[in-house]
């Protein structure tokens, strides 16, 4: 729907909390945030009472060709943002296991387990109408994050969960300006249609696979033993479990 998409990466507890309650700046700089995964007190101090997100289209202001200069390196823009979200999720996971304050073998374990726990959490994606993010002057919801050289925002305002994922797209995107906004952002609109079509195709293919008749029908003995019926029940259970998990993860698309 031509909305701005701002990314936030966090670990398991942060992912759950933000999904339920939205982005709360009062939690910025706490013991399980990504800033606590750095071995530097400066980042923890600088993120107190702030909620951070990575930018969307305004990145074009900082591009040099197809690359972005970041901490002295020229990097592709889109992979950079995705990577940064994943990196902060991993750092948040490490903070869950007190990585910064651990030592020796405990530090190594905290680093490995923490990174894995963070990386299994998808990026949270917040949807906003462009007018509250771009060219809004003093009325802007976000300000540039000075620690990230122009690729991130920060805010002291609470961000409702109704800005997240598909829910956010519907709540923020359906209004009197929807058609004009979509017409002005054809690339975003086509990408969104492609993602939805891909998701629908995968869901349909999975459903048809589960309900397809087996090529070799089970023997009478197998039917009597109930093994085939149990496998069908298990297959349907796995399908609905996949649907439930997909619904959760769609909130981050």
Angle at 68 between CA 62 and CA 74, to 5 degrees: 145
Sheet holding 4-8, edge to edge: 124-128, 4-8, 51-54, 152-155, 143-144
pLDDT in tens, 71-108: 444 444 444 555 667 777 787 878 777 777 778 888 88
User: And the tokens for 146?
Assistant: 């000075």
The answer on pLDDT for 50 being more than 80 is yes
- For 225, how many CA atoms within 13 A lie in the half-sphere containing its CB? 8
pLDDT given at position 160: 92
Give the Cα separation of 43 and 102 in Å (integer): 18
**Secondary structure of residue 39 in the 3-state scheme:** coil
pLDDT in tens, 163-209: 998 888 888 888 878 888 888 878 878 888 887 788 788 778 777 77
Give the Cα separation of 78 and 80 in Å (integer): 5
pLDDT given at position 215: 55
pLDDT given at position 57: 64
Helical (H) or strand (E) element with 155: strand 152-155
pLDDT given at position 224: 52
pLDDT tier at 39 (50, 70, 90 boundaries)? low
pLDDT in tens, 235-245: 777 777 776 66
- Asked if 39 and 61 count as a contact pair (C-beta separation under 8 A), the reply is no
Sorted by where each begins, the domain ranges of the chain are 4-184, 191-250
User: And the tokens for 134?
Assistant: 């771009």
pLDDT tier at 70 (50, 70, 90 boundaries)? very low
């Amino acid at each position: 729907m031509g909305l701005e998409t701002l990314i936030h990466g966090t670990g398991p507890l942060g992912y759950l909390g933000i999904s339920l309650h939205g982005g709360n700046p009062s939690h910025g700089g706490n013991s399980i945030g990504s800033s606590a995964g750095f071995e530097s007190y400066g980042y923890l101090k600088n993120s107190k009472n702030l909620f951070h997100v990575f930018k969307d289209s305004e990145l074009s202001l900082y591009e040099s060709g197809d690359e972005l200069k970041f901490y002295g390196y020229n990097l592709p823009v889109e992979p950079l943002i995705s990577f940064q979200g994943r990196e902060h999720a991993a750092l948040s996971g490490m903070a869950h296991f007190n990585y910064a304050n651990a030592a020796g073998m405990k530090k190594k374990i905290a680093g490995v387990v923490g990174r894995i726990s963070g990386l299994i959490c998808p990026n949270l994606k917040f949807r906003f109408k462009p007018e509250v993010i771009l060219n809004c002057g003093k009325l802007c919801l976000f300000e540039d994050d000075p620690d990230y050289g122009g690729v991130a925002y920060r805010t002291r305002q609470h961000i409702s969960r109704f800005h997240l994922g598909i829910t956010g797209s519907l709540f923020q995107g359906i209004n009197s300006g929807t058609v004009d906004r979509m017409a002005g952002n054809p690339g975003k609109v086509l990408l969104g249609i492609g993602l939805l079509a891909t998701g629908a195709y995968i869901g349909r293919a999975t459903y048809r696979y589960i309900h397809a008749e087996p090529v070799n029908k089970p023997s009478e003995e197998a039917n009597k033993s109930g093994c085939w019926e149990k496998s069908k029940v298990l297959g349907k259970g796995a399908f609905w479990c996949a649907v439930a998990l997909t619904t959760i993860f769609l909130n981050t698309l």
